[in-house]
Amino acid sequence: MRWPPVRTLVFTVALAALIGLEAHGQPGGSSYDGRVTFVRLRWGSDFGSFRSPARRGGGAAWNHDYPRAESHLARIVKELTSIDMRTDASLILSLDDPELLKYPIAFMWEPGFWNLTDREALAFRTYLLKGGFAVFEDFDGPEQWRHFETQMRRVLPEARWVKLDASHPIFDNFFKVKDPHGIVHPMIGIAPSYYAIFEDNDPSRRLVAVANFDNDIPEYWEWSGDGFYPVDTSNEAYKIGVNYLIYGLTH
């Protein structure tokens, strides 16, 4: 079921204007209670403090946009769908935390700087092959892609990345995203690409992972109530986030 386009636009804009005022979720401050909880992945070299030295300014790479991006997306999901989405807190888990297996979808920021331990690689492989769905956000450029691809080969050596076009069902499973490639990188204006790994490398089967490359979609979520970016583009960025969550919960 989809909302009529005009109603969706108006409602999303109104909610986006309000969510900039909400209290932030607590860092890693939720335990499993059956409700859908946004999960953010943290990784090896940046364990420790949330303000550990950054690869590029202000905080660890994996916690970029925290916690406003997921808090805002969670509220959108709660309001626009029947999903019992937790909005008071998100969850931060390491790749080798057994708790991760309780959550069908997980997001990772800035995987262009990601470094895996062998234990994390094995645990993440187990998560994905058991039905987990991973979304990789906020990285760009050939150097970051090469580094990311190298890490993923340690997780799924047999997997192949496939470029998605706008006709893929994930862009139309709740909201119709008219032009996913038109949601340009908010900071540098380049057009994004979307890559996916399919189960058994078969495009007719389940998506195991999606990488939003040459983009920073959560930047739109984070600042949607502050007027930094165009309303229409922010709405489309929210639609992609909602679609990803629904896909992960239903596949």
pLDDT by residue (tens digit) across 213-250?
999 999 999 999 888 899 999 999 999 999 999 999 99
pLDDT of residue 209 exceeding 70 = yes
In this structure, is the dihedral angle defined by the CA atoms of residues 44, 48, 51 and 54, taken in order, positive or negative?
negative
**Residue 30, pLDDT score:** 60
Output the DSSP codes for 156-189: -TT---EEE-TTSGGGSSSS--S-GGGS--TTT-
Name which residue leads in pLDDT, 50 or 202. 202
pLDDT value for 121: 96
pLDDT for position 29: 55
Domain count, the chain: 1
Question: Which range of residues forms the domain containing residue 212?
Answer: 5-250
| Strand, coil or helix: 47 | coil
The stretch 55-81 carries a mean pLDDT of: 84
Residue 198: give its domain's CATH number: 3.40.50.12140
pLDDT tens readout for residues 7-17: 344 344 444 44
pLDDT value, residue 101:
96
Model pLDDT for residues 123-176, shown as the tens digit of each residue: 999 999 999 999 999 999 999 999 999 999 999 999 999 999 999 999 999 999
